[in-house]
Amino acid sequence: MKLVIGGSSGFVGTELVRQALQNPEITSIVGISRRQTVVPVGSEDKSAKLKSIVCDDFSSYPDNLKKELEDADACIWTIAVTPSKMKTTPWEEVVKVCREYTITALKTIASVPRKQGGPARFVYISGHFAPRNGAPIPKQLAEFGLVQVASMRGQLEAQILEYSDQSNGAVVSCIAKPGMIKGPGMEVRVVPGLPEIQLHEIAACLLDQVVRGFEKDTLSNDDMVRIGQLHVAK
């Protein structure tokens, strides 16, 4: 299968690339990011599967980039403004990166030509506390000043699912709602009520889902830990 990874040079994107290169069912990887996507150490013999595309602006896709996305079976979208940068990033930029870039990617994946039958699969990585469809605002968001961005992401989740439902079979989407993502050796702040997931677990889960099909349209942190551990254990 051909997989597109949006944000392939980032924290989660790099692990997705590493595991995707080792997955024999994934035959082609297109990594799009603002920086060159580096082949992870230990995966050099699989580097021919990866094509790195540097893009400075994800608000529109030139024809040459759309050409690279043709025949893509799936896309995992990791691009967002991280919580640590929220306070120093203008709100307009947060909306542009988190919402506009995501919707543009979804619509582009749905519109490019595909030889294969069936819909393309699109994964959006949201957050555990992002409230959808009028759900109560978790108090932790107020404590960390993240109510506005979490509400925006919850609305975006609904937009993505609605667009996919109305795409006439062009695309099917899945919302991933992880808690704290922990990399090897990382020390992270404990937030009451926020679950944790290991970096290798979320990557293993999402790759399994785009290859085999979505278990459901929204994956909780517990879902991803369960699926990720099963996949890693194989």
Rg, Å, the chain Cα set: 17
Provide the token pair at 201: 């677990």
Average pLDDT of the residues in 98-113: 97
pTM (global) more than 0.85:
yes
Report the pLDDT value the prediction gives residue 101, as an integer from 0 to 100. 97
* CATH number of this structure's domain 2-233, picked from the four choices 3.90.550.10, 3.40.50.720, 2.30.30.40, 1.10.579.10: 3.40.50.720
Rounded CA-CA distance 163/61 in Å is 19
Question: What is the DSSP code (8-state) at residue 26?
Answer: -
Which three-class secondary structure string do you get for 207-228? HHHHHHCCCCCEEEHHHHHHHH
* pLDDT tens column, 209-220: 999 999 999 999
* pLDDT tens column, 161-175: 999 999 999 999 999
Query: Binning pLDDT at 50, 70 and 90, where does residue 65 land?
Result: very high
Does 176 have pLDDT greater than 70?
yes
Report the pLDDT value the prediction gives residue 98, as an integer from 0 to 100. 94
Query: Binning pLDDT at 50, 70 and 90, where does residue 144 land?
Result: low
Does 80 have pLDDT greater than 60?
yes
Report the pLDDT value the prediction gives residue 136, as an integer from 0 to 100. 74
Rounded CA-CA distance 195/178 in Å is 8
